[in-house]
Structure 1
């Protein structure tokens, strides 16, 4: 969805050289989408095809992850995902990386119940990230999205995540100033969610996420996906995202939005 893409694009220029500030222009000439956006679109397309009865969700997830990887081969994927996509067989590789959480927003937005969000998250995640923490990270984000889009107060969402997934009863200010690149779900998903919990709007959530440092594009993509569910994406930000997307990704987002409207 657009929230994940917005966070990814804003964070794209700060992943290598962290900013650690909330004072920056959201978009610049170098802002671009990465694998976070590409694979978000892939999972959404798989869910759309599954909804239309086109096959088993797990099979469709593999097909679409491969399709979008091949369509966008230079989107800065993780090394193990590249090996999976280029390998002779696409088998899960035990990853607990935050790639599972960055691409999962479609499951949270499509689902109508917490149980459905968590089941969808596991099904589309385990085709690659079948480590318990890879699945946990995806399910935590999908759950937060489901709760946020149904109007659950942020503190209730926070307690739910804390009780069921990760400790999140900390503040952004308590995150060490030297917090560096952390790819594991357990060391990046909680931080991304706290950036949302401490926000007062979509843009503020993205600025919070960038201020953490670390894996900026992925943290902001995760934060943005939950922030979209709570606040929506401002049209000015959505327009900036749209003009940086390719037609195929833009088409998936549009089709997925229409599907969500039909399920209301």
Structure 2
């Protein structure tokens, strides 16, 4: 485990960005078989909105020690860069927040008043789980606060809770078997489709074919938390100790590859072991922005 929560969170953010940037290389491709020998795509690799928003989460934690929802919403809006590939809901919402709109009302109004159950709150939350890893109750509370800023639907919130608890568990209980890892996460996720998906992921742990697992669990192609988080946890449960293998397994099934790889990368890197992030991959990856306040890893 890294020496302190801030360092642990920073390494998680680097892993998230590396997964995001790796996954983003597959946007124009059908699947990983475009690289049959698993040779990484040629660099440089640029990351997407997943990393941009995760940097905002980490910056708020570094500045305030907890999630201040108003400051997080303001950071999301101020750092909004359309070319990063934001989802349609955020393309509409964040400029309104930047113009003075109330994030609470805007988040609640999405999708005809149901709120978003998208995977955006889950994709950015792993560094938060790493930060609060020593207290799972606080992990859950802070994950909920971070999600509500943009995702008012209970499934969107549940996805964030699941990923945050997964990151915390990797940081504090690295020796858990795969079944125990998923059980620990499920203990803290409220009833619903995300938790049902985690239970299904547990039943599929013995399956060696990621395509079969994804056909059951989803691969993020529907952009929902319940279509994204269970598969990423299936991968992480099986391959927590091998970043490269986890990335290729995640990319193999297509779908929302930058987001699924970002989630898996952020969870695995919550261990705080920066040396598990491949050095050559790090050299190809776009650096984190200076405003995030995160020291670079050796490149």
* Structures share fold, TM-score greater than 0.5: yes
Q: Which residue of 1 aligns with 2:185?
A: 161
Q: Which residue of 2 aligns with 1:42?
A: 56
Aligned length: 249
Q: Which residue of 2 aligns with 1:118?
A: 140
CA distance in 2, matches of 1:194, 1:45: 29
CA contact (8 A) 1:145 1:225 kept: yes
CA distance in 2, matches of 1:16, 1:181: 14
Aligned 1:1-264 pairs, distance under 5 A: 1-21=13-33, 23-29=37-43, 31-51=45-65, 57-69=68-80, 72-87=81-96, 88=99, 89=101, 90=103, 91-92=106-107, 93=110, 94-111=115-132, 112-152=134-174, 153-155=176-178, 156-162=180-186, 164=189, 165=195, 166-167=198-199, 168-169=201-202, 170=204, 171=207, 172-174=210-212, 175-176=214-215, 181-199=221-239, 200-230=241-271, 232=273, 233-234=276-277, 236-237=279-280, 239-240=282-283, 244-245=286-287, 247-248=289-290, 251-254=292-295
1:138-193 superposed Cα distances (whole Å, 9 cap, x missing partner): 00000001011002414211122345433222242523399672200001111111
Q: For residues 4 and 248 of structure 1, do their structure 2 counterparts lie closer, same or farther at Cα, with a shift above 3 Å needed?
A: same
CA contact (8 A) 1:8 1:220 kept: yes
CA distance in 2, matches of 1:3, 1:44: 13
1:88-110 superposed Cα distances (whole Å, 9 cap, x missing partner): 51331311111111111221011
Q: For residues 60 and 180 of structure 1, do their structure 2 counterparts lie closer, same or farther at Cα, with a shift above 3 Å needed?
A: closer
CA distance in 1, matches of 2:249, 2:168: 21
What SS does the aligned partner of 1:185 have? Answer: coil
Q: Which runs of 4+ in 1 moved over 6 A?
A: none
Structure 1 unaligned regions, length at least 5: 258-264
* TM-score (ref. length: structure 1): 0.84
CA contact (8 A) 1:46 1:61 kept: yes
CA distance in 1, matches of 2:182, 2:63: 32
Structure 2 unaligned regions, length at least 5: 1-12, 190-194
CA distance in 2, matches of 1:3, 1:132: 27
Q: For residues 149 and 59 of structure 1, do their structure 2 counterparts lie closer, same or farther at Cα, with a shift above 3 Å needed?
A: same
When the two chains are superposed, the root-mean-square deviation of aligned CA atoms in Å is 2.6
